[in-house]
Amino acid sequence: MGLDMDLQSIQEVRDLIRNAKRAQEEFGTFDQNRIDGIVKAIAEACAANAERLAKMAVEETGFGIWQDKVLKNLLGSTITYEFIKDMKTVGVIHEDGAKGIMEVGVPMGVIAALIPSTNPTSTVMYKTLISLKAGNGIVISPHPGAKNCILETVKIIQEAAKKAGAPDGLIGAIHLTTMEATDALLKDSNIGVILATGGEAMVHAAYSSGNPAIGVGPGNGPSFIERTADVAEAVRRIFDSKTFDNGTICASEQSIVTERCIEAEVVEAVKRQGGYFMDAAQSEKVAKFILRDNGTMNPKIVGKSAQAIADMAGIQIPAGTRVLLSRQKEVSKRNPYTREKLCPLLAFFVEEGWQEACERSIQILQNEGVGHTMTIHSRDTDVIREFALKKPVSRLLVNTPGALGGVGGTTNLAPALTLGCGAVGGSATSDNITPMNLINIRRVACGVTELSDIRAKYNVPVPAQENYVKPPQEISSGGGLTAEDVEAITRAVLAKLKG
């Protein structure tokens, strides 16, 4: 009688972790050059298969556009490698002789990597590269809806790593994908840290596992078009972002917020560039497909084109429509247009001035996506600064597409497919995650001062029992040395040596 699948999957996870831990202990002895050679080989193999894996991902998931997923795969491989290749991550990574400080990079061990279905192949590449660059092993938990393309990516990576000299078992992936397997992976005491990219429930499970975790929840970034912006350029960038891979990057814009004084100009630019404003009846029909009964995003709309969404909802839209927009006035959990929509759908808000737009943006973020990302299109540095000071986000992107800017494609942010949301978003960091987030730093510190010096500097009184050292001339010489004499001599000598 065989084991049930859930029990088999749990055993598979235990074996994967055991093998990864053993391999990582060997890998952890490699110097920086040896690790870098393996990382480079993996990046090159991923780039060589970028197109094939992109097509596999679209075919399996039905999400997005394969040409855009090629670029995502290059972001997860070549672009990430170029950014991290010169980082010092193992051994002595920093030394300051003048201050007596040395820093040593220490791997965290085995990384548990949860992979979403929206960016499956690219996220495997990216998480493997940053994990190995930091001297760690990795065990990957595929999303069941993208299992085949994820496992094929892992196979390519494993083969490249082995040829380059990586120990067997350093890179593992769950083949029996069950909830029990993922739960066992998250809670295993041999996991150094969890990289969780996925739905809110999955990220919460990672933080509740008892292991350190870096999680990314939903994005819901508004995009503010301010009166000084180049409106046509602002709309172009928003549409470039919202149509890139049909909006499956969580940093992509979810709403447009603009000012009353430029409303007509923004509306005209939207229509000219392929946006379509749905009327109330059409908006109502589409709204029914955005959320499921449990309040989460409907996977049927994820990564679908504007035309596919219109067909699904049974509404007529102009041929060539790129983005669907719905005018909104209320922000709430019940309003699907003010939630995350990983497809070419945008809410549209008009406010009296930038102060009201600022408050509306905060309201949208607090509804969902707090701590993540938003964009602003403006030439007014004072307004940009005010938004930077007040918005509860980890990335405020200026005059750039949100999707590509957030992941470091069109900005100088670190290339990353895991975007920290900071404490306000329930995350351990606000960084774009790099290998430096996956090492511990051991600090070696030499003594540079003494207790007596610190007391003197800050004028702190010396306790009475430490305040007296018997001078040598007071030591009796007539009847031999007493115990007190010996102690006094010792104290005097030590004091002189220290002085």
Distance, C-alpha 48 to centroid of its chain: 25
Does any domain span residue 419?
Answer: no
Q: What CATH number does the domain containing 343 carry?
A: 3.40.309.10
pLDDT for the residue 262: 98
Place of tokens 């814009």: 253
Which range of residues forms the domain containing residue 362? 222-413
Looking at the structure, do residues 102 and 85 belong to the same domain, yes or no? yes
In degrees rounded to 5, what are phi and psi of residue 17?
Answer: -65, -40
What is the distance between the alpha carbons of residues 104 and 440, in angstroms, rounded to a whole number? Answer: 8
Looking at the structure, do residues 65 and 213 belong to the same domain, yes or no? yes
What is the distance between the alpha carbons of residues 370 and 368, in angstroms, rounded to a whole number? Answer: 6
Looking at the structure, do residues 468 and 406 belong to the same domain, yes or no? no
* Entry pTM: 0.91
Q: What CATH number does the domain containing 19 carry?
A: 3.40.605.10
Q: Which two tokens stand for residue 473?
A: 């001339």
H or E element in which residue 103 lies: strand 101-107
Distance, C-alpha 136 to centroid of its chain: 17
Q: Is 261 among the catalytic positions? A: no
pLDDT for the residue 499: 58
Looking at the structure, do residues 312 and 346 belong to the same domain, yes or no? yes
Does any domain span residue 485?
Answer: yes
Task: Provide, for the chain, the percentages of residues in helix, strand and coil under a 3-state DSSP scheme, each rounded to the nearest 5.
Answer: 50, 15, 35
pLDDT for the residue 267: 98
Does any domain span residue 329?
Answer: yes
What is the distance between the alpha carbons of residues 187 and 112, in angstroms, rounded to a whole number? Answer: 10
Q: Are 360 and 349 in contact (CB under 8 A)?
A: yes
H or E element in which residue 15 lies: helix 5-27
DSSP-assigned beta bridge partners for residue 225: 258, 377
- Helix pair 50-61, 66-74: axis angle to 10 deg: 130
pLDDT for the residue 472: 57
What is the distance between the alpha carbons of residues 339 and 130, in angstroms, rounded to a whole number? Answer: 31
Alpha helices in 134-228 (DSSP H): 147-163, 179-187, 200-207
332's CB contacts (< 8 A; 6+ apart) are 338, 367
Domain closes at, from 444, 467, 487: 444
203's CB contacts (< 8 A; 6+ apart) are 196, 215, 216, 217, 426
What is the distance between the alpha carbons of residues 303 and 65, in angstroms, rounded to a whole number? Answer: 8
| Of 46, 149, 250, 421, catalytic | 250
What is the distance between the alpha carbons of residues 181 and 471, in angstroms, rounded to a whole number? Answer: 73
Mean pLDDT in runs of 10 for the chain (499 residues)? Answer: 82 98 97 98 98 98 98 98 98 95 97 96 98 98 97 98 98 96 96 89 88 90 98 98 96 98 98 98 95 89 96 96 98 96 97 96 95 97 95 97 97 96 91 98 95 93 71 55 73 71
Distances (CA, A) of 89 to 28, 106, 151: 11, 8, 28
89's CB contacts (< 8 A; 6+ apart) are 32, 35, 105, 133, 134, 135, 435, 436, 439
Does any domain span residue 423?
Answer: no
pLDDT for the residue 39: 98
Looking at the structure, do residues 249 and 144 belong to the same domain, yes or no? no
Radius of gyration of the chain from Cα atoms? 29
Looking at the structure, do residues 122 and 167 belong to the same domain, yes or no? yes
Does any domain span residue 247?
Answer: yes
Following DSSP, what letter does each residue of 224-269 receive, concatenated? Answer: EE-TTS-HHHHHHHHHHHHHGGGG-STTS--EEEEEGGGHHHHHHH
Does any domain span residue 440?
Answer: yes
Looking at the structure, do residues 299 and 405 belong to the same domain, yes or no? yes
SS3 97: coil
Q: Is 109 left (phi over 0), alpha (psi -120 to 50) or beta?
A: left
Encoded amino acid at 289, one letter: F
Looking at the structure, do residues 322 and 233 belong to the same domain, yes or no? yes
3-state SS, one letter per residue, for 381-425? HHHHHHHHHHCCEEEEEECCCHHHHHCCCCCCCCCCCCECCCHHH
DSSP-assigned beta bridge partners for residue 397: 375
Looking at the structure, do residues 250 and 266 belong to the same domain, yes or no? yes
19's CB contacts (< 8 A; 6+ apart) are 168, 169, 172
Q: Between β-strands 345-351 and 255-259, what pairing exists: parallel, antiparallel or unpaired? A: parallel
What is the distance between the alpha carbons of residues 199 and 216, in angstroms, rounded to a whole number? Answer: 8
Looking at the structure, do residues 117 and 26 belong to the same domain, yes or no? yes
pLDDT for the residue 200: 77
Looking at the structure, do residues 184 and 226 belong to the same domain, yes or no? no
Q: Between β-strands 101-107 and 91-96, what pairing exists: parallel, antiparallel or unpaired? A: antiparallel
Looking at the structure, do residues 238 and 184 belong to the same domain, yes or no? no
Distance, C-alpha 249 to centroid of its chain: 12
Give the total number of structural domains in the chain. 3
What is the distance between the alpha carbons of residues 276 and 283, in angstroms, rounded to a whole number? Answer: 11
Does any domain span residue 17?
Answer: yes
Does any domain span residue 302?
Answer: yes
